[in-house]
Amino acid sequence: MKKKRKKKMAAGMKFLFALLFTASIGLIAAGVYLMFFKNRDAYERQAEERDLADTYIDDLILKLTDPEAYEKKVQEEAKEKAERMARRKQQENAKGWDDIEKSSESAGEAESAPTYDFSDLDYEDANYYMRDGIVYTPDYAKGTIQCVLEVPTAGIRRGVYTGTWEEINYDLDIWMVTAARPDYTLGETHMCIYGHNHTAQDLSFNRLKDVEVGDAFYLTAESGRYTYRVTNVFAVSRDEATRNYVDNFSIGSDKCYIITCGRDDGVKNYRYLDLIVEGTLEEQMPLLEYAKIRQQSGANK
């Protein structure tokens, strides 16, 4: 009898273990899906943003060191972009929005295109990518990159877009783009840079909460490489953030604020506040000097 009971108990334990193991695998798989595959498009857009940021810095350096090569590159890119937009417009007129992406997948971007006269084509306004009711421009943002923000502690490296208020609001609605109001000037006014706090790890400003006092972050623009030291990390209401920081031009030009919406970090009402990282300018390095360091290191610093 005792042996039978032991066998039954052993069989029951094995079944329970197998059930728990299967459930654990299922939870892990679900977590991986939610973290990576569900947000695959967002991760791809972020990779695109990082590439654009790197290209922006490369172009600034090229413009400084070899103006002729830079001008040639700009002209070639403008022509290529115009040709791409013309193909998209042709597809849109022929098939409508629903068939554009399907056609692109089957034909590819490398398909030969007819010859066009691009002199009068307003290709900057030619949108060609639509998702969830949002129409994106080729680089997913309107306006222009004013500088590149790098926060090593938080894994952030992305362009900071500026332009008209309409363009900035458009960019922020995309959830990925980092923006600054159009009347900021790096080195002349304070800076407030804002972006979304994505729910997925490592997306947008999701890891801004990991930044601590004493950490460094960087802004790179045509006027140079700016190093800021984090002097405060705090959370305030949206109205207070707007009134006391974003719209407050009495703040010195040595201050930069990185702002995002808060998420729960153990403080019950933190979620409803804006998280702000305050940085104080520590060094402004000429772009040419930074270019030499960047070339020697072979990596983005």
pLDDT tens by residue, 109-126: 444 433 333 333 333 443
256 in Cβ contact with 193 (< 8 Å): yes
Determine what percent of the chain is predicted with pLDDT higher than 70: 59
145 HSE (CA, 13 A, CB side):
24
Q: Is the pLDDT of residue 192 over 60?
A: yes
Q: Is the pLDDT of residue 215 over 90?
A: yes
Q: Is the pLDDT of residue 276 over 90?
A: yes
Instruction: Tell me which amino acid residue 65 is.
Output: T
Tell me the per-residue pLDDT of 124-173, one tens digit each, with 9 for 90 and over. 443 334 444 444 444 556 677 889 999 999 988 988 888 776 776 666 65
Catalytic option among 147, 196, 198, 256: 196
| Dihedral over Cα of 61, 62, 67, 70: its sign | negative
Q: 198: Cβ–Cβ under 8 A, 6 or more apart, which residues?
A: 39, 42, 175, 176, 204, 205, 206
pLDDT of residue 211: 93
CA distance 50 to 67: 24
Q: 160: Cβ–Cβ under 8 A, 6 or more apart, which residues?
A: 145, 146, 147, 148, 149, 178, 179, 180, 193, 219
* Mean local confidence (pLDDT), 66-86: 86
Catalytic residue check, 192: no
Catalytic residue check, 190: no
Catalytic option among 147, 192, 256, 261: 261
Number of helices (H), then strands (E), belonging to the chain: the values are: 7, 10
Q: Is the pLDDT of residue 257 over 60?
A: yes
- Cβ neighbour number for residue 78 with a 10 Å cutoff: 13
pLDDT of residue 201: 65
Q: 42: Cβ–Cβ under 8 A, 6 or more apart, which residues?
A: 175, 176, 198, 200, 203
Q: What does the block give as tokens for 214?
A: 């004493």
- Cβ neighbour number for residue 116 with a 10 Å cutoff: 14
140 in Cβ contact with 176 (< 8 Å): yes
pLDDT of residue 206: 81
Q: Is the pLDDT of residue 254 over 90?
A: yes
The values of phi and psi at residue 185, to 5°, are: -130, 120
82 in Cβ contact with 125 (< 8 Å): no
pTM for this predicted structure: 0.68
> Is residue 188 helix, strand or coil?
coil
Q: Which range has the worst mean pLDDT, 2-6, 225-229, 280-284?
A: 2-6
180 in Cβ contact with 162 (< 8 Å): yes
pLDDT of residue 301: 47
CA-nearest of 52, 34, 39 to 196 is 39
261 in Cβ contact with 272 (< 8 Å): no
CA distance 208 to 194: 11
pLDDT of residue 197: 78
Q: Is the pLDDT of residue 5 over 50?
A: yes
* Mean local confidence (pLDDT), 6-23: 62
